[in-house]
Amino acid sequence: MNTPRATIDLTLADAPIAPAAQAGAPVEVDVTGNIVTGLKKDDAAAVPVGGKRNLFDMDRASLERFFEETLGEKKFRAHQVMKWIHHRYVTDFADMTDLGKALRAKLEAHAEVRVPQVVFDKASTDGTHKWLLGMDPKNAIETVYIPDKGRGTLCVSSQVGCALNCQFCSTATQGFNRNLTTAEIIGQVWVAARHLGNVPHQQRKLTNVVMMGMGEPLANFDNVVRAMSIMRDDLGYGLANKRVTLSTAGMVPMIDRLAVESDVSLAVSLHAPFDELRTELVPLNKKYPLDQLMDACVRYARGKKSSVTFEYTLMKGVNDQPQHARALARLMRQFDNAVQMKDAAKVNLIPFNPYPGTRFERPDEAAIRAFQKLLNEAGLIAPVRRTRGDDIDAACGQLKGQVMDRTRRQAEFRKQLQAQGVGDAA
């Protein structure tokens, strides 16, 4: 199938700051990615885009409401439309042949299904596939599909860039522009599923989604939760709850909120068993140190009666020593005990993936195996995640997209003003 190609202006230097909201909702965020102005929880579905509502923004509940309240139609019509969009990849209302003419005309007048623009896509020799998707005239994000024995995992982005500044992550070097809308998150799934010829419930090419692309998903809570609900809905992509995984650098209050408002697998980017080291690698640790983070994970695991995955990126000479392995094993055992469940903690070892300009290195194979062995001897499940798609820069931590960085620009602007003696005026 041909995917529409977009023209997107990726010449970023000295370009004016893009009206980020142009492609979706007028969202303003602070540096941790929290929405400070703009949409409230349930408004996303109700924001007209160019006068029309983008149906990609709506999960089943919002679409039913839209059909009943705005279109004056029965709920089951919303269900038909969801199937057209997410099962058959039809976005033109004229082609939705089981809807009456009058309804199709009404939809045409009030709604649209706005497909993300594929700037380019690349296939790796190992079957991994990466898309660069244009989100607005200045920003693009990356989505990666990773096929493996009996499963196909899509790695989905949640923000344009990331504000958390983890020291070893390529996305961080790009700075942060804005949150993605629900439509822009589910649009990534749509593009990949369509490319793969995925038919939910029948021809499953896409079996898992991990929110492990660009961005911190819990900093874009409402949009991510709504998009994950479409992923798990039978009328959407029909994925089992446990096959949708949200990965966080450790936004503690949001982990508790996630437990209440969604039902997905949780992964936590740990990377260090000591606070001092973790704060260096993941600055968010200063705000939410290890004991608070682990307590939140215990509450999540207990509430959901499920395991939590702890990601540990192995960096040479930084966090790959026997003392780190032993302390990590202790932390994980404490976790199992607190949850009162065997193997409640699963460790995922990710050998560091290098990118231009980084000061970190991947440990050699022997060091990785030695680290893993210490964990196994302590009774922990700790697979080493094989690097996939590194020939197309699609491996963990290598996603960059094209980010028009507003936060950094603002910070630089402030610095310049301060240098000119204007103080904190900016």
Segments of 180-315 assigned E as strands: 208-211, 244-248, 265-269, 308-314
DSSP 380-425: ---PBPPP-SGGGT-STT----B---HHHHHHHHHHHHHHTT-TT-
Does residue 270 have a known ligand-binding role? yes
Placement of tokens 């096929």 in the chain:
147
CB of 218 to ligand SAH, least distance (A): 8
Instruction: Check the annotation: does 216 bind a ligand.
Output: yes
Rule CB under 6 A: say whether 371 interacts with ligand SAH.
no
90 close to 108: Cβ distance less than 8 angstroms: no
Scanning 33-41, 63-71, 166-174, 298-306 for contacts with ligand SAH by CB under 6 A, the matching segment is 166-174
- What string of DSSP letters covers 87-115? TT----GGG-TTS-HHHHHHHHHHEE--P
Q: 402 and 13 in contact (C-beta within 8 Å)?
A: no
Choosing from 309, 313, 372, 407, the residue that interacts with ligand SAH (CB under 6 A) is 313
Least distance between ligand SAH and beta carbon 102 (Å): 45
Is 166 annotated among the ligand-binding residues?
A: yes
Among the listed residues 64, 142, 184, 311, the single catalytic one is: 142
Say if strands 151-155 and 139-148 run parallel, antiparallel, or are unpaired.
antiparallel
**297 annotated ligand-binding residue:** no
Of 10-18, 59-67, 108-116, 164-172, the segment contacting ligand SAH by CB under 6 A is 164-172
* 353 touching ligand SAH, by CB under 6 A: yes
By rule CB under 6 A, what string of x and - marks binding of each residue 254-273 to ligand SAH?
Answer: ---------------x----
**Residue from the set 133, 212, 231, 325 that interacts with ligand SAH by CB under 6 A:** 212
Closest separation in Å from C-beta 348 to ligand SAH: 8
Closest separation between CB of residue 247 and ligand SAH, Å? Answer: 4
Stretch that binds ligand SAH, among 62-70, 102-110, 146-154, 167-175 (CB under 6 A): 167-175
- Burial of 36 from C-beta contacts in 10 A (0-12 / 13-18 / 19+): exposed
The answer to whether 169 is annotated as binding is yes
Residue indicated by tokens 């983070």: 293
Binding mask 109-148 for ligand SAH (x = CB under 6 A): ----------------------------------------
User: Per the structure block, which two tokens stand in for 158?
Assistant: 């949640």
How would you write 340-354 as a 3-class SS string?
Answer: CCCCCEEEEEEECCC
Query: What is the closest distance, in whole angstroms, from the C-beta atom of residue 421 to ligand SAH in the complex?
Result: 38
Of 55 and 244, which CB lies nearer to ligand SAH in the complex structure?
244
Judged by CB under 6 A, the stretch of 16-24, 193-201, 286-294, 348-356 that binds ligand SAH is 348-356
For the bound state, the minimum distance from the C-beta of residue 293 to ligand SAH, rounded and expressed in Å, comes to 12
- Locate 124 and state its tokens: 């790796």
CA angle 240, 41, 49 (to 5 degrees): 95
If one counts every other C-beta atom within 10 angstroms of the C-beta of residue 426, the result is 12
| Residue 69 annotated among the catalytic residues of the structure | no
DSSP class of 52: B
Pairing of strands 265-269, 308-314: parallel
Q: Which one among 56, 397, 403, 404 touches ligand SAH, defined by CB under 6 A?
A: 397
Pick one of 190, 237, 300, 352: the residue that binds ligand SAH (CB under 6 A). 352
Tell whether 54 is in a known binding site: no
| Residue partners of 1: CB distance under 8 A and separation at least 6 | 194, 195, 197
Instruction: Tell me which amino acid residue 280 is.
Output: E
Annotated binding residue at 108?
Answer: no
Pick between residue 212 and residue 375 the one whose CB is nearest to ligand SAH.
212
- 269 marked as binding residue: yes
Burial class (CB in 10 A: 0-12, 13-18, 19+), 291: exposed
Query: What is d(CA 152, CA 146) in angstroms, rounded to the nearest whole number?
Result: 6
Is position 297 annotated as part of the catalytic site? Answer: no
Helix (H) or strand (E) holding 146, with range, is: strand 139-148
247 is an interface residue for ligand SAH by CB under 6 A: yes
Q: Output 249 or 297, the one with its CB closest to ligand SAH.
A: 249
Cβ 362 to ligand SAH shortest distance, Å: 8
Q: Is 87 annotated as a binding residue?
A: no
Distances in whole angstroms, Cα of residue 185 to Cα of each of 58, 224, 231, 280: 11, 7, 10, 30
CA angle 34, 38, 44 (to 5 degrees): 95
Which residue in the set 180, 258, 396, 403 belongs to the binding site for ligand SAH (CB under 6 A)? Answer: 396
- Of the listed pieces 63-71, 88-96, 200-208, 245-253, which binds ligand SAH according to CB under 6 A? 245-253
> Which residues participate in the annotated binding site?
162, 166, 169, 215-216, 247, 269-271, 353
Binding residues for ligand SAH (CB under 6 A): 166, 168-170, 212, 216, 247-249, 269, 311, 313, 350, 352-353, 396-397
The residues annotated as belonging to the active site are 142, 396
